[in-house]
Amino acid sequence: AASLTSKSHPKLVSASADPKQRPNQEKTSEEVQSTRRMIVITALAIFVLAIAYIKLSSVLPMIKQRLFNSEENASIMKSKYEEESVKLISDSKSCNTCFG
């Protein structure tokens, strides 16, 4: 059966799993190209992930700081507003007693 397949379909023999039946030129050119493609794709993916990680690690502290500062600024502004309102209320009461 193997001799019939090799005569009628020579490509089936070259694609078979047994390396002894495959011609060396096809094995090296196709497999090396696919291996090189996989290595290049993997290297590019690692490179892109590394760049993304570096960018995120430099940007994340700034974002956290801005978020924290905005919350901190909001609480500071709220406390200042409360202090001012208390002052105004106390000033208005003292003025009423002065002029009343």
pTM of the prediction? 0.38
Query: Residue 42 — pLDDT band, cuts 50, 70, 90?
Result: very high
Measure the CA–CA gap between 45 and 52, rounded to whole angstroms. 10
Question: Does 26 have pLDDT greater than 70?
Answer: no
Quote the tokens at residue 30. Answer: 């196709």
Cα gap 64→67, rounded to integer Å: 5
- Residues 6 or more apart whose Cβ sits within 8 Å of residue 15: 22
Say what the pLDDT of residue 5 is. 47
3 state SS of 62: helix
